[in-house]
Amino acid sequence: MSPELSRLSVNQETVRQLSLPELAESCAKAGVGQVGLWRAPVQEYGIERAGKLMKDAGLTVTSLCRGGFLTATDPAERARALEDNRAAVDEAAGVGTDTLVLVSGGLPPGDKDLYGARERIADALAELAPYAGERGVRLAIEPLHPMFASDRCVVSTLSQALDLAERFPAEQVGVVVDAYHIWWDDQVPAQIARAGAGGRIHSFQLADWITPLPAGVLVGRGQLGDGSVDFRFLRRHVEATGFDGPIEVEIFNEDLWARDGAEVVAEVAARYLEHAC
Amino acid sequence: MSPELSRLSVNQETVRQLSLPELAESCAKAGVGQVGLWRAPVQEYGIERAGKLMKDAGLTVTSLCRGGFLTATDPAERARALEDNRAAVDEAAGVGTDTLVLVSGGLPPGDKDLYGARERIADALAELAPYAGERGVRLAIEPLHPMFASDRCVVSTLSQALDLAERFPAEQVGVVVDAYHIWWDDQVPAQIARAGAGGRIHSFQLADWITPLPAGVLVGRGQLGDGSVDFRFLRRHVEATGFDGPIEVEIFNEDLWARDGAEVVAEVAARYLEHAC
């Protein structure tokens, strides 16, 4: 592996067209030593089996996506969400990663109270954080771009994510610094410093911001270098805090999914070197 | 006019299917006494003529949309933008409103420097603000939702808009508090208080946040009450500062544009009473 690639992790969803064995093979071929995984394909392959596959291929699993969706007001729905998140923690430990990414959840139907929804996340974390901590798994709250605030994640900024995380020990709850979601925010340098000082940068992810956004906006992320995000600027701030963990590339993009997956992995590595190193 | 409707202004773009005379007639019929106008239809109708039409119909023009797009790095393009903005100021004065809304502009092609782009806006405002002030026109910087940060407006939060506006006298430069763009931001109550204390709330606009967003995301705004925005919450904060100006409803929505415009104006008035009063 080239030393420049030693920090790179390729998130599985970037190349969702690849099976887990194909992902492992493509990473080895491209000189990539780390991967981020998703629950559904890992469950399908078998959790321990997926962990062994990655380990045998010399790959480190840097994160599992995802738990969360903790904003329900309905008690039965809330109980189901907590149960599912405990399962996600178990799966993270089972597949051999210390980091579970949380997408916190949007507003319940008809509800307009963002503040209340954020408090319900805190209540849920109070139950989940010790459970995760006992299993050696860190919960990583991911602020999602404000365009997802109503239907996916009421946590829209690093500042809001840290306000939640800091109620718990850093080894239990931290944040994801995802360039795609936060690149527009002028508070980010200060909030990265805050997160780093508290040891709460549990994941650092990259995708580029491109327009026009597609309908539904979920799968409109760009390959590194195709958009407006200054990755070196963000990386400089993240590393100024002493962070030396993985840098994970997670792109949701129909064009990338339609291509040969191994070729996309190689392109991610090349773009990473060109735009984020 | 019902006293409850006395603060309501209907922005022309909400019912772009209406000509200016039809807009005036529909507002009169619905008991609406104020309108926000757009440059292109006003230019087409004739600026003074449009002003006289509204005045004769007993309508106050609460704003003109829009100037801005002040982020160019190319000197010729910058000069053209300044010239166009001086024309927009003249048109605002000519049509009889004291408020010109500014959409500040996105990143130039290939540029990733949001901070530099925001500084270029400040440089342009230094030229435009006195020009506007001399003509009795206030420039109102509109923070646009962060999903527009790359291609339309690098000013994404009230805080950023105020950082720019406060470099100039309040009677020359203020901000737009547009519910659609800022509803997700937990800094908004504090920033509304800051804006109000400085006399810088030059426009207060409403549209609802609905999902899924359409491709391109520009025309995905919802009729009041159809989405996630708590208008009463925002209005309470705006009015706590002493603001008693117009409350303008500006919705870009294909379904509203396809309907009978007079019916939409009446519906806006009814929804305003139901959700924002």
- State the average pLDDT over residues A148-169: 98
The per-residue pLDDT for A211 is 97
**Phi and psi torsions of B132, nearest 5°:** -65, -45
Closest-CA residue to A32 (of A62, A68, A52) = A62
The residue length of chain B stands at: 277
Using CB atoms within 10 Å of the CB of residue B135, give its burial: 0 to 12 exposed, 13 to 18 middle, 19+ buried: middle
Q: Could you give the CA distance from residue A142 to residue A158 in angstroms, rounded to a whole number?
A: 8
- Is the Cβ of A3 closer than 8 Å to some Cβ of chain B? no
Does A1 have pLDDT greater than 60? no
* B 98-117 → A contacts, CB under 8 A: 107, 111-115
Percentage with pLDDT > 70 across chain A: 100
Percentage with pLDDT > 90 across chain A: 99
The first and second tokens of residue B202, run together, are 């030059």
- Is the Cβ of A122 closer than 8 Å to some Cβ of chain B? no
What number of C-beta contacts closer than 8 Å exist between A and B?
92
Per-residue pLDDT 10s for chain B (277 aa) are 577 999 999 999 999 999 999 999 999 999 999 999 999 999 999 999 999 999 999 999 999 999 999 999 999 999 999 999 999 999 999 999 999 999 999 999 999 999 999 999 999 999 999 999 999 999 999 999 999 999 999 999 999 999 999 999 999 999 999 999 999 999 999 999 999 999 999 999 999 999 999 999 999 999 999 999 999 999 999 999 999 999 999 999 999 999 999 999 999 999 999 999 9
CB atoms within 10 A of CB B75: 8
The per-residue pLDDT for A3 is 76
Q: Could you give the CA distance from residue A92 to residue A88 in angstroms, rounded to a whole number?
A: 6
Q: Per-residue pLDDT tens for A52-76? A: 999 999 999 999 999 999 999 999 9
CB < 8 Å to B146, chain A: 145-147, 184-185
The first and second tokens of residue A206, run together, are 């990259």
- State the average pLDDT over residues A198-208: 98
Number of domains in chain A: 1
- Cβ within 8 Å, pair B146-A145: yes
The residue of chain B nearest to residue A149, with distances taken between CA atoms, is B184
Q: Could you give the CA distance from residue B265 to residue B32 in angstroms, rounded to a whole number?
A: 8
The first and second tokens of residue A248, run together, are 């994970």
Q: Which domain holds residue B236?
A: 3-275
Q: At what angle do helices A231-240 and A261-276 cross, to 10 degrees?
A: 70
- State the average pLDDT over residues A118-137: 98
Q: Could you give the CA distance from residue A103 to residue A123 in angstroms, rounded to a whole number?
A: 15
Top residue of A151, A157, A186, A233 to mutate, by most chain B CBs within 10 Å, is: A186
* B 230-259 → A contacts, CB under 8 A: 230, 233
B221-B225-B231 Cα angle (round to 5) = 90
- Is the Cβ of B150 closer than 8 Å to some Cβ of chain A? yes
Using CB atoms within 10 Å of the CB of residue A1, give its burial: 0 to 12 exposed, 13 to 18 middle, 19+ buried: middle
Strands A208-209 and B138-141, sheet pairing: unpaired
The per-residue pLDDT for A77 is 97
Using CB atoms within 10 Å of the CB of residue A56, give its burial: 0 to 12 exposed, 13 to 18 middle, 19+ buried: exposed
CB < 8 Å to B112, chain A: 228-230, 233
Does A147 have pLDDT greater than 60? yes
The per-residue pLDDT for B3 is 76
Q: Could you give the CA distance from residue A142 to residue A177 in angstroms, rounded to a whole number?
A: 7
- Where residue A176 sits, what CATH number does that domain have? 3.20.20.150
Q: Could you give the CA distance from residue A80 to residue A69 in angstroms, rounded to a whole number?
A: 10
Closest-CA residue to B153 (of B177, B132, B181, B183) = B181
Closest-CA residue to B268 (of B75, B30, B41, B107) = B30
- Is the Cβ of B90 closer than 8 Å to some Cβ of chain A? no
- Cβ within 8 Å, pair B213-A211: no
**Phi and psi torsions of A225, nearest 5°:** 95, -15
